[in-house]
Structure formats: structure tokens, C-alpha cells
Amino acid sequence: MDPITFSIIRHRLFRVVEEAVITLKHVSGSAITNEGHDLMVSLYRADGSLLMGGVGFLHHLTSASEACKAIIRRFEGDIEEGDIFLLNDPYTAALHTSDIYLVSPIHHEGRLIAWSACFVHVFDIGAMNPGGFAPDAQDIFTEGFSSPGIKVVSRGRLRQDVWDTILNMVRGPEMVALDLRSMIACNNVARERMLALVQKYGVETVDEACRLLIEQSERRLRERLTELPDGRWQSRQYLEAKGETYRVVLTMTKEADRLIFDFTGSSPQSPYSVNCTKWASLGGLFAPLFPLLCYDIVWNEGVIKPITMIAPEGSIVNCTRPAPVSVATVGAIQSVNNAACATIGKLLAASERYAEEATSVWHANHFAIFMFGRNQRGGLSIGILTETFAGAGGARTFADGVDVGGEIPNPISRMANVETIEATFPIRYLFRRRLVDSGGPGLYRGGTGMELAIVPHDAPDGGLHYVISGKGAKFPQSDGLGGGLPGAPNDYVWVHTPAEGADAGRFALALDAMPGEKQPVAWGVYPLMGKDGLYVRWNGGGGIGDPLAREPAAVAKDVVTGAVSTEAAAAVYGVELAGTAVDVAGTERRRTAARRWRLGREAAE
């Protein structure tokens, strides 16, 4: 194939996905989709293999591929032009029940030539807790409806009986209907644009370009892996749920042009919903692999071929049915993300050529806080605090991480404006800002996370409630690299004030200024009623390199800008300040003493 035609078709495939994403966002009425970008759209070959991975949450790229393959197996002989299938069973392919896949076959002149697939986190899935995350669930049966594959549109016509049945099982059916319609519109646009491409260049030419594209990706990744050093790198992530501690342990081995991700040693599956299935773990390791190793390689089946995953059955990263998994995306999956990011970062940092591509772990802890209750207009509101997507960048080998820079698994993640949330829920923000001392210290500092506080406001029922699935408070998980320290852990604090007590700080500007009992919370359903407040702070990215080697002037600047406290400047970075200026002699003394402490020659650092 001539390279110009190949290049044009490749770019057109990018644009097909991009336009489908825009459609999804524009049709959706949900903040988690169009503000938080908790979505994904990708194209797949006729056999379900990944053709063109799109943006959004990248751990869905491989899972949606498996969803296409599952539909092909289940509906063999019954896949027709204009059909659309729904799949959300985690033991078949999905990550958790509330992330629904809609997959659509794309036919040309009666022949199946490709698939488009997309997902959004729907408004509700009928789980025991509103919003889909069900920290109280004991099995998959209490996590809402789950389908291993059902046809919702047949030959272009909506199957009303199926549609009504689905909407009869969820809270806020009108919002779930809008979610599903946004995905139908998305897949329709993907199909139309794909067919326009075929019409222009011919089906055989497009098919050949797709085949070559996958070959190219495989070849380029194998070449890159060959350039990187062989070795073995480990990572260990601790996560807690309801007082229990679990480990995700990863040994990544790189041999020649292959990578093996071995999760042997990880904890047995949990009775709580932090588990994930094998498809979720596979997606979880690819989420950082795509952007870190394939930043200039098309994300498709060719990238998957050199990778092997070992995930022991019955473990927290490959649980068996009917174990609950609804919190997986902020539980075991994200720990797999973090562990893979850490080991890939170590691999890159070991290479002269690729060291600048290395990063420490970014935003390691999502917090799923789904608020629910009657809003200021009398209707039902259910939705997530989209700040969970406002992660922090990990440090790099040549620069600090980006403050509130997002997250590795979702290159387009972002949070909603305060005003959007206040318009959706009967609440008011007291503050939302960068969190001091949250970025992992290092020669290069991790980006900062944030903190916020909310109180009820104009609530017809006096407030609302929230479902919280909040790991990351007990253990830091944004690991540092090469001597860098981890980003600070999260905190979730219910500021509880009795009705007769002082108001929980109507205009407080800090947690300390909020009167009332401060009770850490992490898992379950809690009130935000009356004079209650909710304070949340979340992790920064990991640092890289020795904090004692950081340029003192950079530390002083961090103190001035509020990223680092004076206490941390002295205790962690060994920098003495005189006002906002560096005390050079004092800094030298402090750093010398700190190095001696490390060697056991000084009483205290």
C-alpha cells in the first residue's frame, strides 16, 4: 500500500473515534461523562480485535475488545446490520456493572467489517447503593443488573421491551435512558464515518490498511522493547477496605521484545467489592502501558501481542464469580494501574535513551463519592464528585509533576466546575484548592493534589447522603521513583455537628476552622445533613530523586506558592528559609546532618 494512502486512512480512523467521542459528550446530560470524561470510544476489527484505541479511560480498550468477542460468540449467526448490543457483566468482559458497553457491528454491503464500542458510567445501575459503586455489596447479585450480552437495537429499531426492562431496574430511568441514547448516537456516528471511509477508499483498501496498522504497532513496540534493558522490576500496592488490608504485588519482567506482568503474590479475593476480574486487570495494566510505552504508536491489537499477564485465579486481581466488583475501578484496577505505572517507570528510567519518558506514579487514588437525594428543584440527583478525576502528575526525570495534572489511565480526565456541581446538588463548596505537601518530595516533586469541603445548601430535605468508596487514606499509593517519596495519602472526613451545635462552618476556609466532631470515613453511606460538612483531600503524584538534592531555590518557590510547607522544606528537603529566601549556610548544615542520619551517624533528621 502506498504510504500516503495508509497515512490518510490511519488519520481518518483517529478522526472517526474523535468525532464519536464529541458526539457522546454532546448528547450526554451527565457530568461524569461530559465534565469528568469517564468514557471511552474505540474501533475494533471484524473479529473483535482492537483496531483504533480512543481516549477516555484506557483500561476499557482491551475489555471492550473482549466484549466484542463475547458478542460474536454469543450471537453467532444473529449479528445483523443496524444491531446494537449491550454488555456490562464483569465476568464476561466489563470492569464493573455501571460501566455499560454498547457495541455495534459495522456492515458494508451485508458483510461485517468492523465494530465500534463505547462506554459511559451510567447514572445508576440498580445496585444496592445509588450510583453503581456498592461498598456494602457482598456479591455480584447486589451490584445491579449485569448482562453478558443483550441486543437493544435490532436492524436499526430499538427493542422497546428490552429498553423498558433495563430502565425498570434503575434509579433515575430518564437519566439512564439519556446515557444509553448518547452511546447509541456515538456508535451511529462511528459507523457512518467508518462507512464513509470505506466508500471513499474501498473496503479492501481500508481492510488492508487496518491490517498493516496492527502489524506496524506490533513491530514498533517490539523494536522499542528490544531497545530497553532486560530485567525484572517489582511494585507493591496496599489498599484497604472496611479495615482489611490487601496487596497487589506485581513483578514485571522484560525479556528481549516481550513484557510479562505477573501478579503472583497478590492477596486472595476480598469479600468486599474492591476485587477485579481478569479482564479488568488486563485493561488495568494496559492503561499506563499505552501512553508510557506507546505514546507514538497506534493503540491496537499489535500492542497487545507482546504482552503477557499472569493473574492467579481467586486473587484480588482475578476474582471468581460471584465476588463483588463494583468498586473495582477505584479498587484493585487502580492498584494494577499504579503498579504497572511504577514498574514501567523503572524500566524507562533504566534506559539512557528513554529515561526522559519515565514517570513516578500519578494520581493513585480515585475516591468514588456518589451523592444522592432530592435536589433544590425537587428532583432526584445522583452523581459523583468529579474531583476524583482531578489527579496529580507524577514527577519526571527532568521536571516536577504537574499540579492537579490529571491521571495516566485517562489522558482527557478533568473535573467539573464548582458551579456545575452546586447547580446539580443542594450543596455549597466552602473551598477547593491545591493541597500543601501533597506532592511526593524529590529532586523533582510530584504534582499536588487538592482539598475541598462541602456543606448542604438550599436542600429541601435538609441535605443529602453519599456513598463513599474511598481507598488511599491509610496507605500512600502514588509511589516515588529513584529515591523520590510517595505523594501524600487521601483523607475523607465527616464533620458532624449536632443540630443544637455550632454550624459546621458556613464560611470556614480550612478543615480546622470547621466546628464539630471530625470522623474519618471511607466505606459506606453517610449523611451530609443539617450542619454536617464533608472534607476530602487527595493525593499528589510521586517524586523522583533525592529530596536533599533539590535546588533550594525551587523549594523556596514551592513554599511561596503554597505547594510545600515551611516544615516540609526543613524536614524533608533540608532547606532552611529566612523569610522567603534560602538560608544557604543553614541549609548546608541541615542537609549534611540529614545525610549523616541516613547513615546512622546523627540522632535525628
Nearest distance, CB of residue 352 and another protein, angstroms: 5
Nearest distance, CB of residue 409 and another protein, angstroms: 21
374/432 with CB nearer another protein? 432
Q: Residues interacting with another protein, by CB under 8 A?
A: 229-236, 238, 240, 245, 247, 346, 349-352, 355, 358, 397, 436-438, 473-476, 479-486, 488-493, 518, 520, 522, 537, 540, 544-549, 565, 567-568, 571-572, 594-600, 605
Residue 467 β-bridge partners? 370, 525
290/538 with CB nearer another protein? 538
Nearest distance, CB of residue 532 and another protein, angstroms: 17
93/473 with CB nearer another protein? 473
Nearest distance, CB of residue 515 and another protein, angstroms: 16
112/355 with CB nearer another protein? 355
What is the four-CA torsion angle of 327, 331, 333, 338, rounded to 10 degrees? 150
Nearest distance, CB of residue 290 and another protein, angstroms: 23
Nearest distance, CB of residue 479 and another protein, angstroms: 7
85/246 with CB nearer another protein? 246
Cell digits of residue 493:
472526613
Question: How far is the CA of 136 from the CAs of 42, 129, 254, 474, 588, in angstroms?
Answer: 33, 8, 39, 19, 53
172/540 with CB nearer another protein? 540
Rounded CA separation 334/332 (Å): 5
Going by the DSSP 8-state scheme, the letter that residue 396 receives in this structure is B
- Concatenating the DSSP letter of every residue in 32-62 gives HHHTT--EEEEEEETTS-EEE--SB-TTHHH
Residue 466 β-bridge partners? 371, 526
Rounded CA separation 598/308 (Å): 39
Task: State which amino acid sits at residue 594.
Answer: A
Q: Give the dihedral sign, CA 158/159/163/166.
A: negative
- The pair phi, psi for residue 272, each rounded to 5°, is -100, 170
- Concatenating the DSSP letter of every residue in 78-103 gives ---TT-EEEE--TTTT-SSTTEEEEE
Nearest distance, CB of residue 535 and another protein, angstroms: 9
Nearest distance, CB of residue 524 and another protein, angstroms: 14
259/481 with CB nearer another protein? 481
Residue 103 β-bridge partners? 85, 117
Nearest distance, CB of residue 232 and another protein, angstroms: 5
Q: Give the dihedral sign, CA 406/408/411/412.
A: negative
Q: Which of 254, 223, 249, 226 is nearest to 236 (CA)?
A: 249
CB 225 within 8 A of CB 216: no
Rounded CA separation 597/605 (Å): 6
Kindly calculate the radius of gyration of the chain based on its CA atoms and give it in whole angstroms.
25
Rounded CA separation 17/377 (Å): 37
CB-count exposure of residue 571 (10 Å: 0-12, 13-18, 19+): middle
Nearest distance, CB of residue 238 and another protein, angstroms: 7
Nearest distance, CB of residue 400 and another protein, angstroms: 14
Task: State which amino acid sits at residue 14.
Answer: F
Cell digits of residue 132:
453503581
172/482 with CB nearer another protein? 482
124/240 with CB nearer another protein? 240
Q: Which of 458, 531, 456, 521 is nearest to 496 (CA)?
A: 531
Nearest distance, CB of residue 566 and another protein, angstroms: 10
Q: Give the dihedral sign, CA 118/57/163/35.
A: negative
166/349 with CB nearer another protein? 349
Distance of CA 272 to the CA centre of its chain: 20
378/600 with CB nearer another protein? 600
374/518 with CB nearer another protein? 518
Rounded CA separation 184/550 (Å): 51
